[in-house]
Amino acid sequence: MPEGPSKTAEYVATFRAVESARPEGERLFSDPYAASFLDGKLRLGAALARNGMGQRLVCRYIDRNWPGSRPSAVIRTRLIDDAVTAAIEGGAEQLAILGAGYDTRGLRLPAAREIPVFELDQPPTQERKKQRLRARDGDLPSNVTYVPFDLLDEGVGAPLERAGFRTGLKSVYIWEGVLSYLTPEAVDQTLAWITASGAPGSRLVYTYVDVALLKQGGEDEPPWSSQVAKVGEPFRYGLDPAKMDAFLGDRGLKPVWDQSTLEAIAQHAVPGGRNAPGFYRVAEAEVLPDR
């Protein structure tokens, strides 16, 4: 567990800042807050990416050092933006973002701005996020409640409910780029809370690594594993996409869709996307009535 703010969260914010710098009509989304969370080289890279030549150089540099991670983060951001918007338009009355990092959907998605949003993360990352937002806008968004909490601790529900998250409402939950850092117990305990707290039809949008990646190890290990381990946030949990229906069914959920970022990129124009990995997946599940 890192002592300070999450570095992987800052990397994801970098990829979002770089994508947001592409011209309107070409970029897959705009996150005008992302650059505010960056320091040092990452901040410089995002600034350089604001013109065409700089954008190409910065993407080439990132993609050489982190093959496939930038286009994967870009496509997952877009898929999750769309899924969350659809869930809210479909009646979800509150949004919980678990391991929120520098996710700014509570501010930037018009549908999410209209409902209560609860962001849960470890205190150092959440404090840094709040400082940067205050420095940028003078204030924090009024619809977002920040809940400092570690998902590895017992009882994720209690702190969220104390903060005002209402059980029994149709809700939408985001769990993006987080599962890989948890234990099987923490994953099960969080899913149990989701199915207990959300009304039937509530949606969970999540990402995960195919467990086959974790088993590879050694020389075959894809570059991401060593990169995230280097910043103190090693991958330690994965799921098998072929067994996802049973995994979810046992936990009171049913799959809605599930695809690798590589498959998703084939449907959208993401520069550099051909290098995206097949092992990184984005998915959505629904809370069942009889759970």
> Which residues in this chain contact ligand SAM in the complex, by CB under 6 A?
6, 8-9, 12, 99-103, 121-122, 125, 150-152, 176-178, 181
Q: In angstroms, what is the minimal distance from the CB of 196 to ligand SAM?
A: 19
Q: In angstroms, what is the minimal distance from the CB of 99 to ligand SAM?
A: 3
Q: In angstroms, what is the minimal distance from the CB of 96 to ligand SAM?
A: 12
- For ligand SAM, give the closer residue by CB, 25 or 32: 32
- For ligand SAM, give the closer residue by CB, 199 or 237: 237
Q: In angstroms, what is the minimal distance from the CB of 229 to ligand SAM?
A: 13
Determine how many CB atoms are found less than 10 A away from the CB of residue 22.
19
Q: Helices 40-48 and 7-20, interaxial angle, to 10°? A: 10
Q: In angstroms, what is the minimal distance from the CB of 145 to ligand SAM?
A: 15
- For ligand SAM, give the closer residue by CB, 1 or 269: 1
- For ligand SAM, give the closer residue by CB, 91 or 155: 155
Which helix (H) or strand (E) segment holds residue 56: the answer is helix 52-65
Residues forming beta bridges with residue 208, ordered by sequence position = 281
Residue sitting closest to ligand SAM (CB): 101
- For ligand SAM, give the closer residue by CB, 233 or 286: 233
- For ligand SAM, give the closer residue by CB, 36 or 122: 122
Cβ atoms 254, 285 nearer than 8 A: yes
Q: In angstroms, what is the minimal distance from the CB of 290 to ligand SAM?
A: 30
Give 251-291 as a DSSP string: TTEEEEEEEEHHHHHTTS--TTGGG--SSEEEEEEEE-S--
The two tokens of residue 241 are 């996409």
Phi, psi of 207 (to 5 degrees): -125, 155
Cβ atoms 13, 240 nearer than 8 A: no
Cα distances (Å, whole numbers) of residue 50 to 17, 72, 165, 195:
9, 20, 38, 42
